[in-house]
Structures are given as C-alpha cells and as structure tokens.
C-alpha cells in the first residue's frame, strides 16, 4: 500500500508558537487513523498541515505524493476536510450547500442527494436554510459536503460532535465504506469508545509530536 | 474556468438574495446618505448640482465598502474560509467569481441611487452614454479592488475596521475619476469625461492583472 501522508520531523508554527514540533508519521492508503491527545497536543494542527492549510516550516511533508512545502494547493482537490466548525453558508439551503461544495470540488452536483441520504439527512429538510437547522443537522450537512467531493484523504476533526447515537454509528459505517473503497481516513476525536471501534490505528500526539503509534513497526 | 466563476458568483448572489443585505440594508443606508446631503446643502442648490457626481460616488464608496465586507464575511463565518481555501476551483476563478458577484451587487446599488440623485439634486443627464459607461467602469474598478483587498483582510481578526482603511485610499482615484466623469455626463463641467472613464478602465485592468497574479498568494497567507 502506498503512503498517503508522509511526515518526517515536521515543524509548523502559528504566529510565533510552535504547534507541531517534529512530527514523524506515515499513513497508508485505506487506513483509518485516530489521532488523539490532550487539548493543545497538536491534533487540529496536524490535520490542518495535512490539508495544506498550515504551512510546514521545517521537515519533510508529502501528502498524496505532493510535497506540501512546494505545493499546498493542488492536493486539496483530493482532500475532504471537516473542521471543528462546519464551514456552512447559513443562508443556503442544505441541498444547495452540498451541491455547491460538490461542484466546487470538481464533482457532479447530482452527488449531493446521495451524500445527504448517506448521512441520514431527511429529504424533507433539503430545502430548509442551514440557519434553521439544529447543530446535529448542520454537522450532517457538513459531513455530506465532504462525502460529495469524493475525497481520497478524509481529514476529520471531532466528526462525531453534535451527532446522536444512531448518526454516530452511521458515520462510522460511512467511513469504513470509504476506507474499504481505498480512501484514507485520519480523524481526531475525544470519543474514546466510538473512535477506537472505528480506527485501525491510533496515533497519540503530545506537545506537537508523536508520543505513541499503535501502527509503528 | 467560466463555469467556476459563474458557480461562485451565483452562490454569492443567491445568499445575498436570501439575506437581503444589499437591497434591504446597504441600499437604504446609502440612499439615506444621498438624502442627508440633499438636506444639508439644500440652501445652496447650485452647489448641490455641482457636487452631485462626487456625492454619488461618495455614497457608492460607502455602500460598496459595506458590500465588500459582507462578501468576505460569507467566507469567514462558521470557518468558511477553510472551505473557500480547500475548494479545488482555480484561484483565478475564485477571484473573478467574487468580483463578478460584487459587481452585480454594486450595480444594483447604483440603479437605486441613480434616480435618487436626479430627483433630490435636481440634475439633468446631458450624456447618457458617458454616464452609463463611467458607472460600469467605476463599478468594475471597485469590484476588483474590493476583492483584492478584501481577501487580504479576510483572515485577520481586525478585518471589519481594517478593510475600509485599506480600501478607501486605493479607491480614491476611482472616486475622483468617477466624480469628474459624472460631472461631465450631468453637464455641470465641460471636462474630458471620457478620459476619466478610460482611467477607471485602466485602474480595473491593472487591479485585475494584479488580482489574478496575487490572489492565490493572498488567499494562502491571509
């Protein structure tokens, strides 16, 4: 299996604060990797560095074969990012939003309905403004937006947040299905039981570097 | 690329249509500015007539700055700036799409303000072709400058106050050229209105070239 994320001694800085202080990690295609750690351990920064949103100051960082120190933009077309925030346009309807994200990601708009159905978002709410949805429903729209872009690398920050029990289980199924189809999933979560059940590997971050890796040889 | 530009512009305009910020809030506010100037200078009708072009562009400057801020607020609320940056659309499409949506909104603002100026300031149009062309040229210049400087401020916490501070000095030549061109079009100044209009097209072209070249860098670094 080819490596999708290859970080060697990666350092990243936000302002003047080092958020990643020498991350060494390699994630292979088809893996589902849980990134865990205390608050401020660098989980979100790691995901953002993988997405090319956080500049790598030192070390070697390759994502999907692209050198992130040379080109951070091109690999994004193959990456789906779900952050802490949902990245939703509150005045668009749920379906319009997913259609826009699908089209902006280079995919067909027709993927939107299938993506919304996949996360269990009821069709009766497709034409409702996002501002009128509950927190859990918004999270589902955000997840559907990622699904609709058909990413090869999924980067998810607390994906289970705000979801009810059934939706969390459903999300795990969606992620397993994506991984079995060849996509790679890297997610950060504090939901221990649910996340361990989903993941095939656990990486623990501490102080901006890898403190433990269940998949390390 | 055209499909991407239209996709982004359509999204912005759809949001504005729903939110009614441009027509429901910004247009009435700028209209109010025009009316206030009319009250303030009512005792001196010739002065009001002479200054109509300039006052129009001051009102547009104010309203357009609000619309530019609003355009980038859409991309920053709920962490949307990450979504904007993660989009696989070409950087040129992002720049032109935002500029096109802003252009349409400012045009709507002008359609509301234009008749108000004629009504309250009691001016007559002497050259419609010049008036419309100058309006389009000024709006183009405003749109591309707004998007270029808007993205620069978008990632900053102080963007609300910083954007006008950055944008107003950059738009000062557009304000000057637009005012002169309108004065000629309204027949209150026998000046080279077309030359001023050409200057606005040049400003648009320069900022478009700079924007197409720098937008990607600004998007990543802001």
For chain B, the domain total comes to: 1
Structure letter (DSSP) for residue B25: I
| ipTM, two decimals | 0.85
CB pairs under 8 A between A and B: 65
Q: What is the pLDDT along chain A (217 residues), one digit of tens a residue?
A: 688 999 999 999 988 888 999 899 999 999 999 999 999 889 999 999 999 999 999 999 999 999 999 988 889 989 999 988 899 999 999 999 999 999 988 778 788 899 999 999 999 999 999 999 999 999 999 999 999 989 999 999 999 888 888 888 899 999 999 999 999 999 998 877 777 788 889 999 999 898 888 865 5
Local structure of B111: helix, strand or coil: helix
Residue of A nearest to B220 (CA): A53
- pTM (2 decimals)? 0.89
Digit-coded pLDDT (tens) for B141-193: 999 999 999 888 877 766 777 888 888 999 999 999 999 999 999 888 777 88
Closest CA to B87 of A64, A52, A47: A52
User: DSSP label at A93?
Assistant: B
Each residue's pLDDT tens digit, B59-103: 999 999 999 999 988 888 888 888 888 888 888 999 999 999 999
* CB nearest A103 (choices: B7, B77, B220): B7
CATH 3.40.50.300 fits domain A3-213: yes
Spatial separation of the C-alpha atoms in residues B22 and A63, rounded to whole Å: 41
Structural domain range at position B17: 2-221
Is A100 within 8 Å of B11 when comparing Cβ atoms?
yes
Distance CA B194, CA B200 (A): 10
Nearest to B88 among A55, A77, A90 (CB): A77
- Spatial distance between the Cα atoms of B184 and B135, rounded to a whole number of angstroms: 13
Say yes or no for a CB contact (<8 Å) between A104 and B77. no
Residue B215 CA to its chain's centroid (Å): 18
């Amino acid at each position: 299996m080819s490596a999708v994320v290859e970080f060697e001694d990666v350092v990243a800085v936000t302002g003047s604060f080092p958020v990643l202080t020498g991350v060494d990690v390699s994630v292979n295609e088809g893996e589902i990797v849980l990134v865990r750690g205390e608050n401020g351990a660098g989980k979100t920064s790691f995901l953002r560095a993988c997405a090319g949103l956080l500049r790598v100051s030192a070390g070697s960082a390759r994502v999907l074969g692209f050198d992130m120190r040379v080109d951070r933009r091109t690999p994004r077309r193959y990456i789906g990012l779900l952050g802490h925030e949902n990245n939703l346009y509150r005045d668009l309807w749920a379906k319009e939003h997913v259609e826009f994200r699908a089209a902006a990601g280079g995919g067909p708009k027709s993927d939107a309905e299938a993506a919304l159905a996949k996360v269990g978002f009821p069709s009766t709410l497709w034409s409702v403004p996002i501002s009128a949805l509950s927190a859990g429903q918004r999270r589902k729209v955000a997840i559907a937006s990622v699904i609709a872009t058909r990413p090869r690398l999924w980067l998810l920050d607390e994906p289970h947040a705000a979801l009810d029990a059934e939706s969390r289980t459903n999300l795990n199924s969606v992620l397993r299905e994506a991984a079995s189809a060849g996509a790679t999933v890297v997610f950060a979560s504090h939901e221990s039981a649910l996340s361990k059940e989903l993941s095939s590997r656990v990486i623990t971050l501490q102080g901006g570097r890898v403190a433990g890796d269940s998949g390390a040889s | 690329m055209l499909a991407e530009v239209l996709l982004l512009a359509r999204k912005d305009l759809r949001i504005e249509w729903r939110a009614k910020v441009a027509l429901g809030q910004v247009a009435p506010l700028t209209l109010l500015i025009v009316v206030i100037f009319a009250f303030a200078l009512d005792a001196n009708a010739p002065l009001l007539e002479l200054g109509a072009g300039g006052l129009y562009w001051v009102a547009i400057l104010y309203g357009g700055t609000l619309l530019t801020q609003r355009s980038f607020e859409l991309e920053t609320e709920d962490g949307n700036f990450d979504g904007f940056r993660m989009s696989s659309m070409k950087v040129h499409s992002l720049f032109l799409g935002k500029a096109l949506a802003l252009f349409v909104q400012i045009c709507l603002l002008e359609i509301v303000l234009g008749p108000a100026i004629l009504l309250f300031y009691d001016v007559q149009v002497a050259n419609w072709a010049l008036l419309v062309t100058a309006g389009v040229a000024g709006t183009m210049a405003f749109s591309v400058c707004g998007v270029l400087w808007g993205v620069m401020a978008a990632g900053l916490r102080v963007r609300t106050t910083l954007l006008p501070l950055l944008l107003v000095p950059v738009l000062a030549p557009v304000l000057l050229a637009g005012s002169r061109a309108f004065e000629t079009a309204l027949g209150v100044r026998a000046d080279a209105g077309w030359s001023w209009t050409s200057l606005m097209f040049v400003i648009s072209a320069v900022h478009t070239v700079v924007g197409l070249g720098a937008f990607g860098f600004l998007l990543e670094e802001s």
